[in-house]
Amino acid sequence: MNKKRTYFIKWLFRRTLAKVNQILCFFLPESRVKTINARWYFKRKINIEHPQKLNEKILWMEYNTDASLRSRLTDKYEVRQYVAKKGYEECLVPLFGIYDSPDEINIEDIPEQFVLKATHGCDMNYICRKKEDTDIRDLQRRMKMWMKINTAYVSLEMHYRTISPRIICEKYIESGDNPLTDYKIHCSDGKARFILVCSYGHGKRYLDVFSRSWEHLPVVVGAEENPDRPCRPEQLEEMCVMAENLAEGIPFVRIDLYTVGHKVYFGEMTFTPATGMLFHFSDEFLMEEGKYCTIVPSD
């Protein structure tokens, strides 16, 4: 099966799942539907009513606290203002445009290399390294499909519900022959607790977890660690300080950063990583990290 067909089948499944979840939410609380999804899809039992593990506390906040800040900072366009206001405007990827509809985008007006992203969800990206190789018709189909997806109900991440579906066009950041390494800094109570490093090699995607001081933590499950252990980035302290500044006053958030040369770039802020399940981490690790996340009901 070719990649294009596989891509659309994947999104057809997600649209169907979103509709099923939306119907279930008419009859059951959203947290209950999430629990059912967890048992069915991830084969995991979660306790949202009396949370102890980090993933359970994340989901408790999702269904029991005001979502307005999470929605604003999850929006891939609106978060740029927050990052700039915090003093990190130079870490933002240059923006070419923002569009309310795919029909507004004239590919001829965009530079040779670019990245398109939907503002209201994840896994809605298109990277163009060479415009002449772009299948415009396929790209238009993808973008129109993104705009029709209600991300909130795909995986019961309800803070996505109020994010306006738009598309942004950013500069493509050249990283040479090596794919970018993502540094996903998980912050609890405004402190960088651990870093999930997504690296690539041998045609694979690897996941490794490190402490703030770059001690390797053997806590990954269901994924492969990089046999060539990722090196400590020279900007590690700079990235951790930046993440903590962005996470100030927030019970939990993951700050995604990456580096090119000596420069740090901002990726996104994520409040429910891996749909809030954090399924790539062991239960023991999630229980330990849950101790450092303080959850407080909204007034």
Which tops the pLDDT comparison, 195 or 10? 195
pLDDT category at 94 given cuts 50, 70, 90 is: very high
pLDDT > 50? residue 299? no
pLDDT > 80? residue 1? no
pTM higher than the cut 0.75: yes
* Cα within 13 Å of Cα(148), Cβ side: 12
Residue 210 neighbours by CB under 8 Å, 6+ apart: 194, 195, 197, 216, 217, 230
**What CATH number should be reported for the domain whose range is 51-67+177-299?**
3.30.470
Residue 139 neighbours by CB under 8 Å, 6+ apart: 107, 116, 126
pLDDT of residue 177: 66
pLDDT > 70? residue 297? no
Cα–Cα dist 194/218, whole Å:
12
pLDDT (average), residues 166-175: 92
Structure tokens at 160: 């996505």
Query: Using CB atoms within 10 A of its CB, is residue 189 exposed (0-12), middle (13-18) or buried (19+)?
Result: middle
Cα–Cα dist 41/133, whole Å:
36
The amino acid present at 21, given as its one-letter code, is: N
Angle between helices 3-27 and 30-37 (to 10 degrees): 140
pLDDT of residue 3: 78
Q: What pLDDT digit, counting tens, does each position of 27-83 carry?
A: 999 999 999 999 988 888 999 999 999 999 999 999 999 999 999 999 999 999 999
Characterise 177 by phi-psi region: left (phi > 0), alpha (psi -120 to 50), beta (else): alpha
pLDDT of residue 279: 94
Structure tokens at 193: 């607790």
Dihedral of CA atoms 237, 240, 246, 251 in degrees, nearest 10, equals -150
pLDDT category at 150 given cuts 50, 70, 90 is: confident
Q: Mean pLDDT of all residues in the chain?
A: 93
Cα–Cα dist 101/220, whole Å:
39
Q: What pLDDT digit, counting tens, does each position of 258-287 carry?
A: 999 889 999 999 999 999 999 999 999 999
Q: What pLDDT digit, counting tens, does each position of 231-248 carry?
A: 999 999 999 999 999 999
pLDDT (average), residues 17-26: 95
pLDDT > 80? residue 143? yes
